[in-house]
Structures are given as C-alpha cells and as structure tokens.
C-alpha cells in the first residue's frame, strides 16, 4: 500500500481498530521531496482507493497500464491487480488511501457501517479500469478531518467521541467516492477504443504514434479519441506517451552505463536539457539525481 515501507513519511490504522470491518487499512503518505522507495508490487483482496491531495504522481498496474494522478483527484486500484509507484520514486506529493476488506462483502451477517450488500455494490461501481475522478469538496473536507483525527493522540487511547467522528468521516469519504463513480457514464465502445490505444502505445518503440495517426488507424475522429482517452485514463494520449518515454528512460538510467546525453537521445528527446526538464517535471528529480538515489537504494538492499 502507499508508502508502506517509508514509515517516516506515512501513518496508517487498521479498520478493525476503529470498528470498520469494511476497511482493511487506511492511511496517509506525505513526501516533501522525491524519495526512492523499496515498495514492490502490491495487490489486495479488496480494491484500494488513492486520493492525491497535492502534487503529481504516477502508478503502474500489472506492468501494462500507467495511472497518473494530479492533486485533487482520486483513483481506484481494482482488487487482485498488482500495482506500485512508477519508476521506484515517490515524487513530492501528499496522499490519503483506503484499502477495502473484501471479506466484509462476503458475509452478510458481519456488521459493517455500509452493510455488506452496499459495500459489494460500491466495489462494483468503482469500474473495471482504475478510473480517475475529481475529489469532491465534501470528500476533501472529510479527508482533512480524518487526517486531523489520525494525528490526535487521544484517538489511540480509545476516546469514543473521536473514534465515532473518524468512522463518520471515513463513511462519508467512501459514499462520496461511490457517488462520483456512479455518476460517471461509461460507453463500452469508448472503453474498447481506449484499450486499443493503450495497446498501441505500449507496443510502440520510442517513436510513439501521434493522436492523428492513432485516430486514422482506429477509424475515429482525433477529437473523439482524445476526449475518450482523457476521460478514461485521466490524461491525453500524448501525455501518456511522454510518461511511457520517461519510464523507459528510468530503466536505462539504472540498468545501463550510458551517459545521460545518450539516454536522452535514445529516448527520443532532442537534447539532454529538454530531457532533464521533462524528467524533473514527472519524477521530481534530475536524471543524475534519480540514477544516484536508485543505485544507493540498491546498495542498501
């Protein structure tokens, strides 16, 4: 789960500790600067919801899909699908997360705040893909209150009022997230279109096809492809291709002894200066800083 191996920057509470059987665990992660992480692939029996409160970050799912988030948006990692932060680096960001407890949906007699039937409907509403959504103002307010309560020492001595308040805010966060996903209409044809675009981008070499080329190949308008992809994935296809380019460059920086200039050119950038600018935008570090942090991490393991 988010920040699970960087405890200086994160905190979490098990759901059963506050009487919420439908939540396996919830917590926060706050990275004031980019940090290399030891996190490997994670997957949960229940889905995970990540709320990015500030900054920008990108995860990868099953090694086949990048999931970018910007501050003020949330995303869902479906149950049983592997996920991790992309490129082994948490960029500067502030996150809150909830992992649902699938066992709570399978036992109708098990007491939950939402009820097993509602919880099951909630999970189904979160969608097949890890769709991104805007976090509502109501949801943001409850997340803020949840973080405040998590840092109140009285909570851990069993203060009943604080525990009840925490439960209420967590329930509201889930309901607001459910509402956002339920209100977002999905067109099966658009979902197929987006899947085809993703396949072509991931199969491409460092010369990624343009949106116009993809539209011609997939027999749709450029505007429709752009709109469908952005709605489904949370960013335009050109930005997604740029993230793929950076991801491949990250692998070269760690695995090869090439100069940064050569890696920039091999990755499709016109100059090392442009490469460094784009790299820092997405990763929060320069290419040389990234190479150093990841190699130091490898030596510590």
- For residue 158, being part of any structural domain is answered with yes
On whether residue 272 sits in a domain, the answer given is no
Question: Does residue 107 lie within any of the structural domains?
Answer: yes
Q: Residue 204 domain-assigned?
A: no
Q: Is the pTM of this model over 0.85?
A: no
208 occurs within a structural domain: no
| Position 147 confidence tier, pLDDT thresholds 50, 70, 90 | very high
DSSP letters, the chain, are -TTTT-GGGEEEEEGGGGT-TTEEEEEEEEESS-EE-----B--SS-EEEEEEEEEEEEEETTTEEEEEETTEEEEE-TT--EEEGGGEE-SEEEEEEEE-THHHH-TTS--SS-HHHHHHHHHHTTTTT-EEEPPHHHHHHHHHHHHHHT-GGGGGT-HHHHHHHHHHHHHHHHHHHHHHHHS---HHHHHHHHHHHHHHHHS-SSPPPHHHHHHHHTS-HHHHHHHHHHHHSS-HHHHHHHHHHHHHHHHHHH----HHHHHHHTT-S-HHHHHHHHHHHHSS-HHHHHHHHHHHHHH-
Please check whether residue 170 lies inside any domain of the structure.
yes
Whether 26 is in a domain gets the answer yes
Count of domains for the chain = 1
| CATH code of the domain containing 157 | 2.60.120.10
For residue range 237-271, list pLDDT tens digits in order: 999 999 999 999 998 998 878 899 999 999 989 89
Q: What is the pLDDT of residues 30-78, one digit of tens each?
A: 988 888 876 678 888 888 999 999 998 989 888 788 888 889 999 888 8
Domain that holds residue 82: 7-183
Mean pLDDT of 233-237: 87
Q: Report if residue 37 sits inside a domain.
A: yes
């Amino acid at each position: 789960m988010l920040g699970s191996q960087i405890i200086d920057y994160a905190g979490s509470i098990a759901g059963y500790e506050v009487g919420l059987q439908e939540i396996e665990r919830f917590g926060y992660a706050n990275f004031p600067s980019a940090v290399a992480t030891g996190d490997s692939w994670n997957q949960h029996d229940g889905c995970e919801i990540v709320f990015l409160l500030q900054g920008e970050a990108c995860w990868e799912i099953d090694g086949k899909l990048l999931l970018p988030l910007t501050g003020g948006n949330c995303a869902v990692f479906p149950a049983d699908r592997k996920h991790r932060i992309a490129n082994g680096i948490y960029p500067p960001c502030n996150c809150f997360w909830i992992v649902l407890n699938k066992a709570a949906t399978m036992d109708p007699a098990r007491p939950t705040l939402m009820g097993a039937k509602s919880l099951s409907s909630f999970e189904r509403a979160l969608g097949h893909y890890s769709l991104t959504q805007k976090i509502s103002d109501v949801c943001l307010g409850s997340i803020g209150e949840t973080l405040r309560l998590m840092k109140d020492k009285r909570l851990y001595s069993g203060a009943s009022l604080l525990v009840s308040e925490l439960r209420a805010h967590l329930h509201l966060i889930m309901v607001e997230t459910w509402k956002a996903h339920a209100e977002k209409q999905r067109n099966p044809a658009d979902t197929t279109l987006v899947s085809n675009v993703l396949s072509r981008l991931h199969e491409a070499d460092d010369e990624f096809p343009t949106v116009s080329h993809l539209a011609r190949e997939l027999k749709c308008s450029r505007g429709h492809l752009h709109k469908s992809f952005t709605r489904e994935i949370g960013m335009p296809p050109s930005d997604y291709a740029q993230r793929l380019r950076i991801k491949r460059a990250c692998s070269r920086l760690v695995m090869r002894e090439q100069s940064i200039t050569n890696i920039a050119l091999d990755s499709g950038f016109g100059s090392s200066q442009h490469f460094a600018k784009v790299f820092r935008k997405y990763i929060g570090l320069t290419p040389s800083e990234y190479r150093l942090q990841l190699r130091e991490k490898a030596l510590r393991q």
